Structure 1
Amino acid sequence: MKSPEKLPFVKVYDGYGHSENLIVYGHLLQKQPHVTLNYEKNGLLQNIWQLIKLFKVKPVPYAKVKLTFESQSVEAITASDGFFKIELTPQHHLAAGWHALEVHAIDDNGNEISSSTGKVFIPHLSQFAFISDIDDTIIRSFSAKIFKRLYELISRNPAKRRLFDETAKQYNLLAFSFAKDKLPNPFFYVSSSEWNLYDYLKNVFKVKKLPEGIFLLNQIKRWKELILTGKTGHDGKFLRIVRLFKAFPNQQFILLGDNSQKDPEIYAKIADKFAAQIFAIYIRNVRNSRADDAQMLLEVHSTNGIPVCIFKDSKEAIEHGIKIGLIDANLPADFA
């Protein structure tokens, strides 16, 4: 029997769904990336090496994996890059909140040779749901400039990454305002960053006390493509958002992004298709030269009844959220 170090590693990402369908994503890799997150040290060479490890992955293509949820199971085959998407219809109604699951790697003889645990989130249908970009919306990333973005990644570990002022406060207010049964409003973090950065981003969010959420990232890259991180086309981002709207047709969504790249155009296209499901759109102005373009692109949807806020500081977005009934002005100071 192979030692655990030589068995394939099942990487499971937090999934989402409702009582009629659960969706779980992940990758099957030849081995688990061994990354040490030491927040006490922030040396450039150490950060570079840790980042390379995240991209030094070897996917296992066209292999069988099995999702186990309660007494049910369903199998799938990994794609050419080791990626898998598994959907399952639960046998009974599921309460809102997090639910545990397992995903197993299956060999040619049908044996389970390795496994990892995961979880899926079921929101209340009456809750607001938030779809947010990450780079330059939450984290200062300079995504429009390849080398500046790369420098931010390699020069700062997760504890040292910089958020925009009051962003954590803004997002926690959104998460806990009018939350039902003390269950935070769901966040879906949809980004052009690659799946390689999943654990890195999860740690940034944990350290910076941002709301827990579902990360929907871009196609995995190898270490030779590290310089191109975040530079995959934006069509995939549009499709991931569309899938969320179709998965939750009765949910009211709030879109949060920035004008450094394509968020205004993507959100305008989404608003064309799903206007009745959008409660508001927020765009952080990080490029003054594009502020008017973003406003012009989105204001047509504002006239159709969708509030649009182009903001520079999170304080402006918070005030706007209170005004339109998105944020509870009476939320206690220790709400989070």
Structure 2
Amino acid sequence: MQTTDQPVASGWISRLLNWMGFTNQPTIKVYHGYGQGEQLMIHGHVFKLSPLPRKKYRKSVIHNTLALLRLFVVKPMAGIEVTLEWGNETLYCKSGTDGFFSFNWKDKPPLHCGWNRVVIKAWKHQEAIAEAVGTVFVPHETQYGFISDIDDTFLISHSSNLRKRLFVLFTENARSRQPFEDAVKHYQLLACSNTVPDAPNPFFFVSSSEWNLYDYILEFTIVNQMPKGVFLLNQLKLFSQLLKTGQNNHKTKFTRIARILETFPRQRFVLLGDSSQHDPYIYEAVVNHFPRQIHAVYIRDITAKNQQNVKDVLYKIEAAGVSCCFFKHSSEAIMHSRKIGLISEKQATAEFHDN
């Protein structure tokens, strides 16, 4: 009887979980990878319980709250063998205690620029238990690259106020959240800075938000037509840590930015952030360590209490020969980008006619 009842019970539990928006089937979550011949990388998680992708977006506080809560109901699979198929090569690694896995490898150039498809599988007892398709971004050889924070840099988030931040997270969704006025226009113009639409500048979105919010943030950028880019978020949080969302150790942000700069040593980068948390100080450290690679720094003025401290930091960055813009409105940032040549006169003229 036990042998007969077990699959029935398991099927009933699976259907109940599916109805609640979860799956208890082994699942691989793959995040956008990036690199060039000397260094390619892609990351992901393996879960034994995880939320299903959201299909319906409603203007309902209850539905938005439940959808947000689901993102933190996860059970990682530790010590699972994971493989990646790249061309004729198969790479191997194991998931960590939080289910996280990371592949780092080299290939011989020239590589196909743009988004390259990879197949990733999870194995248990020499049997594939899950499979997912990921993409690795190989940028074109453009003059500039852009590294941007997310919360309160282009996405209105109230990061400096935990109560407001959680209220927005719980009551809104990825399609109802709002970007700052003209922020999307600025980023779209930067994507084509000194290049052509077929070979856009690479964008990297580096945030203290957790990997739990990956789909949420990705959906926001797609809906708002932000430049397609690579996301480098922070360590996964479990449901018991939900109220600490966005409150991670910001030191890892410098490490993630440094890894990008080391991967693309021939490109000059522009850093975009805000004054609500640690961005000015992290970017100052980045300029000190990579002075030849940083072309400009943009900081959105979010909190009045930090204004003077941020101005002092930006003064030091400018003294190192890096152009800075401390702005409240993205229209000011666009003007600055025109002034220093990040936005060409041709782009500015096209923008004027579009408006």
Q: Distance in 1 between matches of 2:123 and 2:267?
A: 36
Asked if structure 1 preserves the Cα contact closer than 8 Å seen for 2:50 and 2:75, the reply is: no
Residue 112 (structure 2) aligns with: 95
Worse-matched range after superposition: 81-90 or 28-37: 28-37
> Aligned to 1:250, what secondary structure does the other structure show?
coil
> Aligned to 1:275, what secondary structure does the other structure show?
coil
Alignment of 1:291-302 (within 5 A): 291-302=307-318
Is residue 84 from structure 1 mapped to residue 84 from structure 2 by the alignment? no
Residue 81 (structure 2) aligns with: 64
Cα offset, 1:180, TM superposition = 4.3
Q: Which amino acid aligns with 2:137?
A: F
Q: Distance in 2 between matches of 1:99 and 1:35?
A: 23
Q: Which amino acid aligns with 2:315?
A: E
Q: Which amino acid aligns with 2:71?
A: L
Q: Distance in 1 between matches of 2:24 and 2:327?
A: 50
Asked if structure 2 preserves the Cα contact closer than 8 Å seen for 1:35 and 1:50, the reply is: no
Unaligned runs of 5+ in 1: none
Residue 319 (structure 2) aligns with: 303
> Aligned to 1:36, what secondary structure does the other structure show?
coil
Residue 114 (structure 1) aligns with: 130
Q: Distance in 2 between matches of 1:12 and 1:304?
A: 38
Residue 231 (structure 2) aligns with: 215
Alignment of 1:20-59 (within 5 A): 20-39=38-57, 41-59=58-76
Asked if structure 2 preserves the Cα contact closer than 8 Å seen for 1:190 and 1:240, the reply is: yes
Residue 338 (structure 2) aligns with: 322
Q: Distance in 1 between matches of 2:109 and 2:226?
A: 32
Residue 122 (structure 2) aligns with: 105
Q: Which amino acid aligns with 1:27?
A: H
Worse-matched range after superposition: 26-35 or 114-123: 26-35
Q: Distance in 2 between matches of 1:108 and 1:92?
A: 36
Residue 329 (structure 2) aligns with: 313
Asked if structure 1 preserves the Cα contact closer than 8 Å seen for 2:30 and 2:133, the reply is: yes
Residue 248 (structure 2) aligns with: 232
Asked if structure 1 preserves the Cα contact closer than 8 Å seen for 2:174 and 2:216, the reply is: yes
Cα offset, 1:32, TM superposition = 4.0
Q: Which amino acid aligns with 1:52?
A: L
Q: Distance in 2 between matches of 1:27 and 1:329?
A: 44
| Deviations 1:44-91 (CA, angstroms, capped at 9, x unpaired) | 111111111111011001111011112111100111100011012224
Q: Which amino acid aligns with 1:28?
A: V
Q: Distance in 1 between matches of 2:177 and 2:197?
A: 33
Alignment of 1:255-274 (within 5 A): 255-274=271-290
- Report the TM-score, using the length of structure 1 for normalisation: 0.95
> Aligned to 1:325, what secondary structure does the other structure show?
coil
Rg bigger for which structure? 2
Cα offset, 1:113, TM superposition = 2.4
Q: Which amino acid aligns with 1:36?
A: R
Cα offset, 1:235, TM superposition = 0.8
Asked if structure 2 preserves the Cα contact closer than 8 Å seen for 1:59 and 1:81, the reply is: yes
Asked if structure 2 preserves the Cα contact closer than 8 Å seen for 1:173 and 1:328, the reply is: no
Is residue 18 from structure 1 mapped to residue 36 from structure 2 by the alignment? yes
Cα offset, 1:92, TM superposition = 4.5
Cα offset, 1:179, TM superposition = 2.2
Residue 267 (structure 2) aligns with: 251
Asked if structure 1 preserves the Cα contact closer than 8 Å seen for 2:50 and 2:73, the reply is: no
Worse-matched range after superposition: 267-276 or 243-252: 243-252
Give the count of matched residue pairs.
Answer: 333
Cα offset, 1:248, TM superposition = 1.2
Q: Which amino acid aligns with 1:249?
A: P
Q: Distance in 2 between matches of 1:260 and 1:51?
A: 23
Cα offset, 1:212, TM superposition = 0.9
Q: Distance in 2 between matches of 1:302 and 1:169?
A: 25
Q: Distance in 2 between matches of 1:96 and 1:319?
A: 31
Is residue 127 from structure 1 mapped to residue 152 from structure 2 by the alignment? no
> Aligned to 2:216, what secondary structure does the other structure show?
helix
Q: Distance in 2 between matches of 1:145 and 1:195?
A: 21
- Report the TM-score, using the length of structure 2 for normalisation: 0.90
Q: Distance in 1 between matches of 2:304 and 2:186?
A: 22
